Structure formats: structure tokens, C-alpha cells
Amino acid sequence: MARTRDYSQEFARRQERAKAQGWGGYRQQRYWRAYLADDNHVRALAEEIGGPVEPERQGSLMSLHANRIINPRNASRIPGDWQVRLLVAAGRI
């Protein structure tokens, strides 16, 4: 006998998990994660926040200043997802 799936419950779980990570919802998470899969988009948003990448950090996506904003060392990292922190700092969400 085949097992049936309750898609509304499945979507509700995804929605809850996305909100726990700091996203507005599951659809927002899917949209922005696909957008941020391109390194050029991440680099452009990070430059808006902290300026261009320093020459000695060649190959990095973020400057030291942007990295300190998005990934603070001695402060809480809430929301827990770095992509959410990047988008919030850039004013996108």
C-alpha cells in the first residue's frame, strides 16, 4: 500500500524552519538562496555594506569590514543564517 503525503504539513514544516533561520518564509528563502548562489551577487551586496575587497584578500567575497558586520566574533549571530544577515545589512529584507 502506497503511503500518502500531506503537502500542506510538509510546506508548514519548511515554512517554520525558514522562519527559525530568520527568513520571512520558505518562498523568500528559496528566492534569495538561488540569487545568492552566484558569487558576484554576494560580492556586490558585501561591497554595498563594507566597501571593496582589500587587495591582500584576493579571491574573498567580502572586505574585512563587511565580514565583521555579517559574521561578528563576540556578538550573537542572530539571525542564524549568514545569508539573512547579509541581506538585512544590505537593506534587502
What digits encode the pLDDT tens for the residues 49-91? 999 999 999 889 999 999 999 999 988 888 888 999 999 999 9
Query: Is residue 2 a part of any domain in this protein?
Result: no
d(CA 38, CA 64): 20
What pLDDT is recorded for position 17? 95
Task: Please tell me the total count of domains within the chain.
Answer: 1
pLDDT digits (tens, 9 = 90+) for 25-48: 999 999 999 999 999 999 999 999
pLDDT at position 54 is: 94
46, part of any domain: yes
pTM above threshold 0.75? yes
> Is 1 within a domain?
no
What residues contact residue 31 under an 8 Å CB cut-off, 6+ apart?
Answer: none
Instruction: Give the residue carrying C-alpha cell 527559525.
Output: 20
Domain that holds residue 80: 7-89
**Residue 66 in domain:** yes
Q: Which residues contact 32 (CB under 8 A, 6 or more apart)?
A: 23, 83, 87, 92, 93
